[in-house]
Structures are given as C-alpha cells and as structure tokens.
Amino acid sequence: MEIVVSRKVMEKSESYTLAYLKSSKELMNLAGLAVMSCFYFNDSKVLVICGSGNNAGDGYALAYHLKKKGIDVSVALVSNKFSHFGKIYFDMCRKIKVPILKVENADFSKYDILVDAIYGIGFKGRIPQKEAEIIKMINNSQKKVISIDINSGLDADSGLADICVKSFLTVSIGSYKLGHFLNSAPDNIGNLVNCNIGIPIIGEKISLMDSNDYKDILKERPLYGSISDYGHIGIMGGSLDYSGAVKLSNMSLSSLRSGCGASRLIVPKEIALGVTPYLLESTLMAFPSKDGKMVYDSKAINKALEGISVLLIGSGWGVSREHQLILKYILENYSIPLIIDDDGIKTLIRMNLDILKKTKCKVILTLNSFEFSKLSNCDINELLNNPLELVRIFADKYNVIVVLKGVSTIVTNGFKTHIVSKPFSVSKAGSGDVLAGIIAGVCGYNKISVKAVSCAVYINNLASFLANKNQISFISSDTINYIDKAICQMNK
C-alpha cells in the first residue's frame, strides 16, 4: 500500500517539514538526488527546463548533481524569476559552469533527455500561452521526458489539464498526489515512481492499493466447507426492452469466478426463457412483470430474496415507477448488503435519498462521474475538479460505500478511502456489469468494507490487464476469463 495525498495536505506537510525538520535548500537537494537515482543518466545529454518556482529549484539541484557526476547537462530558463532557494541552486549551477540557455534558444533535438521542472503541485488553472507553446515543443520533441513531482500543467488534485507535459517518467517527491491518478493523468504519465525524502505527512492519507493488501480478503479456504459459507448472490435486473441475457449471465459468472458460493438471477418472467440458455452454474427465478418490466409484489420480492446474502440490483432494469417501489421495499425491509448499479442508480435518482440514511442494508453504489453528478445534484465540472471531497461528503451523509468508476477508481465510505489504479482501459459495453458482479462475489464471503469492495475493483482491473487484448478488440467477457489468474497472482 502506498499513500496518496491532496495538494493541501502535501503543502501542509512541506510547511511542517520546513518549520521543524529541514530547510528548503535541503529539500531541493534531496529532490534533485531523488530524481537522479530514478534514471540511468550516464552517457546522456540532458536539458533541464526550469520555470520560476520551487519545482524549478528541484530542477537546478538535479542539474547541479548531474554536472558534479560528469553528465552533459544544460539548463533552459522559461523565466528570469526565481524562488529564494531556487536562486541558490541556480547560482551553484553557474559556479560549476552548467550551460544556461533561454528556452527559446534551446534546440531540443540536440538532447537525449528533457527534464520538466516548469510547474509543480502549486499549479492551478490554465497554462499561460508561452508555457503552453514550450509544453507543445516538449511533447513534439520525441525525446524521453522526465517530470519532477508532477507533469507541468496537470492539476495535482484532479489530474485535469488543458495541456500538460507527456512524460516517459514522473518522479513524485514526498508522496503520490491525487492528480497522478485521476482523469487525464494516466494518459500523460508513462511511468510513475515516488521518492520519500523525509517529509512526514500531516493530514489525511488516502490508500493506493496493491495486490499484497488483499491477502486477508482472498485467504485460502479450508477443504471442509459448504456453498453457504461463501454467500448466495442475487442478481435482480433485466427487462424486455433490454433483456441483456449475456450481460446478466456475465454478472452471475463474474460473481462465481470471484468466489461466491451460488448465484441466482431474478428477471422479469417475459425474458426468463431467453436468459435460460446462457446459464450453467446459476439458478433462475422469473419475477412478476408487465410489458417486460418487473412489477411491485412484496411476496414475490420475499420469495426471490429467500436465502440471499448479497443482492445486486439494477442492470438492464430500465426505468419504472414499479422499480422505485421494489427498491424502496428492499431498503426498508432487509438488512443485506445491497449493490445498486446501472438502472438501479437511475431508479435511486428518482427517489428520496433520505431512505439511504434509514435503511439497515449495507449499500454499495457503483457509478461513473455523470451518474454521480445526477445522483448528488452536483455540477459535473465541479465533480471532475474535486472528485474526492464531493464523493466522501456524499458517502458520509448517506452512510454508503461509493465506487466512483474512472481511469482510477475511488472507493470510499466517507472516512476511509482507497484508490485503485486502472492499468488497462475497459471502456466497453458490459465492463461495469462485470465489475458489479465481481463486487457481489467478493462481498458474498467477506464482511462489507471499503477494503473488500476495493479488492473486487482490483481483481477486475488486474483481470482486464492479464487478458492482454489490445484496447480496440477488448470485450468485457475477456475480463471474466482471467479472474482466476488475477486472484492467483494476488495470492502469491
């Protein structure tokens, strides 16, 4: 597990370090050494492109140490302004005769490596025109680019950018930042490493999960056991307009592959026969319906959920007043883990959300940014710029676990937050259904927690990666076929 922090927490931590532990000059020195340790610079011709702030100071410190090591290094100035301690390292570079150029006079084609030290985590807003042109030149140079702390132009909290440096390597200093993982960041960061230079983190720490964190969730099972030990999953969804037979069966199969004991599909009676051919290990229940959509029937709900330990609801459901009544009844009368996905979210949007505060169900909401903005009634741009805070506030207010799907997925209950980085793009129909099925499967045999849910997200992401298909040809069922390999790798 690694730690991820917001801009505010990192700035507070740096202020504490400067007040009680180290000088700014020492931190710049350590940052420069850290970057130098992360890449083999020998026999390379290096150009360090520096802005005007402390990030530029880190760049000057790097250039100083590279020169002392005998590396052919030059510095290109974007600005004639310096931070106080940045100026100290700039003067140190001049003293040992590091060539200093104006960036507009630098010929990038003469260098093997470009180091981006233009903006650090303090950057917000839009890139000025001059710096934007420089970033375009960097990105068009076809050289290996190393960014110090964060790629210039990326917002350290949101990962959003109008334009930003596209790096071969980004060396995070002190701790990973949210902006390394969200929105457009993974498309612009080739490789990412963090270097601890002795800055203690003061404030909230968000967990960036890795496979070693889940061994207690995916623990070895005794030979002596039964189906009931691992949960009986219910999957309620489907409609005549979108029967989604394969979609529903994929959810069931992904649940079983993820370790639950049994799976029951609950579908409108009009589509039951159409779904049957796709079922092998799962059971099926035809639910009362009219015009291809489920109708509210409390006795039918009770029969459908008999023996169910986890319920996944909403996929392919469509939107209906009857569905609101069904969901309301379950929330008011059951105390099981309830995963609300897809059209279940659309149904919830049309209801009074205060019901979430009163229910005894352990509610898990799986949704993308657009769905969350509708559910929480927040502006989509506000959400993209500040996803963590808005999602945490919502999860705390309504006592739910939110799974905000994206290029990296945020899982939070408002107090504990995990980030699961996605190594492979799965922007294909059905990918969210497979994920929801995996969440249901893992929750079938674990106590409901942020960790159990993020474990399911990790399985989904790793299985997608191991499927090893190109992103054009990839389909969602590829993920299911590699769930077993993902779990085996996580248990090594």
- Do 165 and 116 sit in the same domain of this protein? yes
- Do 188 and 219 sit in the same domain of this protein? no
Kindly tell me if the per-residue pLDDT of 139 is higher than 70: yes
Q: Which of 156, 173, 205 is the last residue of a domain?
A: 205
pLDDT per residue as tens digits for the range 288-319? 999 999 999 999 999 999 999 999 999 989 99
Kindly tell me if the per-residue pLDDT of 124 is higher than 70: yes
> Cα dihedral angle (123, 124, 126, 128), rounded to 10 degrees?
-30
| Mean pLDDT for the chain overall | 93
* Helices (runs of H) and strands (runs of E) counted in the chain: 19, 21
Confidence of residue 229 (pLDDT cuts 50, 70, 90): confident
- Do 402 and 460 sit in the same domain of this protein? yes
In order of 102, 185, 196, 407, 424, the CA distances from 182 in angstroms are 33, 6, 21, 6, 14
pLDDT (0 to 100) of residue 249: 66
Check if the beta carbon of residue 479 is closer than 8 Å to that of residue 426.
yes
> Cα dihedral angle (422, 423, 428, 430), rounded to 10 degrees?
-60
| H or E element that contains 396 | helix 387-398
Confidence of residue 274 (pLDDT cuts 50, 70, 90): confident
pLDDT per residue as tens digits for the range 377-400? 999 999 999 999 999 999 999 999
In order of 157, 382, 419, the CA distances from 160 in angstroms are 8, 12, 17
- Whole-number Å distance between alpha carbons of 407 and 419: 11
259: left (phi > 0), else alpha (psi -120 to 50), else beta? Answer: left
Phi (first) and psi of residue 56, to 5 degrees? -65, -35
Kindly tell me if the per-residue pLDDT of 246 is higher than 60: no
149: left (phi > 0), else alpha (psi -120 to 50), else beta? Answer: left
Confidence of residue 253 (pLDDT cuts 50, 70, 90): confident
Residue with tokens 């205060």: 354
- Whole-number Å distance between alpha carbons of 119 and 150: 8
CATH code (residue 317)? 3.40.1190.20
- Do 58 and 156 sit in the same domain of this protein? yes
pLDDT (0 to 100) of residue 85: 85
Confidence of residue 339 (pLDDT cuts 50, 70, 90): very high
- Beta-strand ranges (E) seen in 98-151 are 100-102, 113-117, 144-148
pLDDT (0 to 100) of residue 281: 74
- Do 184 and 215 sit in the same domain of this protein? no
- Do 345 and 453 sit in the same domain of this protein? yes
- Whole-number Å distance between alpha carbons of 307 and 399: 25
pLDDT (0 to 100) of residue 228: 75
Check if the beta carbon of residue 339 is closer than 8 Å to that of residue 313.
yes
Kindly tell me if the per-residue pLDDT of 186 is higher than 80: yes
Check if the beta carbon of residue 188 is closer than 8 Å to that of residue 151.
yes
Check if the beta carbon of residue 175 is closer than 8 Å to that of residue 203.
no
pLDDT (0 to 100) of residue 232: 94
Confidence of residue 217 (pLDDT cuts 50, 70, 90): very high
Q: Which of 155, 170, 205 is the last residue of a domain?
A: 205
pLDDT (0 to 100) of residue 432: 86
Residues composing the chain: 492
CATH code (residue 65)? 3.40.50.10260
Burial class (CB in 10 A: 0-12, 13-18, 19+), 279: middle
76 against 422, higher pLDDT: 76
- Do 382 and 303 sit in the same domain of this protein? yes
Check if the beta carbon of residue 453 is closer than 8 Å to that of residue 425.
no
- For residues 171-207, one letter each, b for 16 or more C-beta atoms within 10 angstroms of the residue's C-beta and e for the rest, the string is bbbbbbbbbbbbbbbbebbbebebbebebebbeeebb
- Do 201 and 263 sit in the same domain of this protein? no
Helix spans in 21-142 (H)? 24-37, 54-68, 84-95, 129-139
Kindly tell me if the per-residue pLDDT of 472 is higher than 90: no
Kindly tell me if the per-residue pLDDT of 141 is higher than 60: yes
In order of 50, 66, 67, 143, the CA distances from 101 in angstroms are 10, 17, 15, 18
| H or E element that contains 453 | helix 450-466
Strands 337-341, 310-313: parallel, antiparallel or unpaired by DSSP? parallel
Check if the beta carbon of residue 460 is closer than 8 Å to that of residue 485.
no
pLDDT (0 to 100) of residue 283: 87
Residue with tokens 């893992």: 442
| H or E element that contains 4 | strand 2-5
Mean pLDDT computed over 18-46:
95
In order of 114, 353, 363, 389, 394, the CA distances from 357 in angstroms are 53, 8, 10, 19, 11
pLDDT (0 to 100) of residue 429: 72
- Do 178 and 309 sit in the same domain of this protein? no
Mean pLDDT computed over 466-476:
77
> Cα dihedral angle (449, 340, 179, 183), rounded to 10 degrees?
150
Coil, strand or helix at 72: strand
What pTM value is reported for the model? 0.93
State percent of the chain over pLDDT 70.
Answer: 96
DSSP letter string, 331-345: HHH--SEEEEETHHH
- Do 268 and 180 sit in the same domain of this protein? no
State percent of the chain over pLDDT 90.
Answer: 80
Coil, strand or helix at 217: coil
Check if the beta carbon of residue 4 is closer than 8 Å to that of residue 192.
no
Domain, as residue range, for 74: 2-205
pLDDT (0 to 100) of residue 193: 97
Structural domain tally of the chain? 2
- Do 287 and 310 sit in the same domain of this protein? yes
Mean pLDDT computed over 176-188:
95
Mean pLDDT computed over 27-39:
96
- Whole-number Å distance between alpha carbons of 77 and 105: 10
Q: Which of 205, 239, 271 is the last residue of a domain?
A: 205
Q: How distant is the alpha carbon of residue 363 from its chain centre?
A: 20
- Do 250 and 349 sit in the same domain of this protein? yes
pLDDT per residue as tens digits for the range 421-442? 965 555 667 788 899 999 999 9
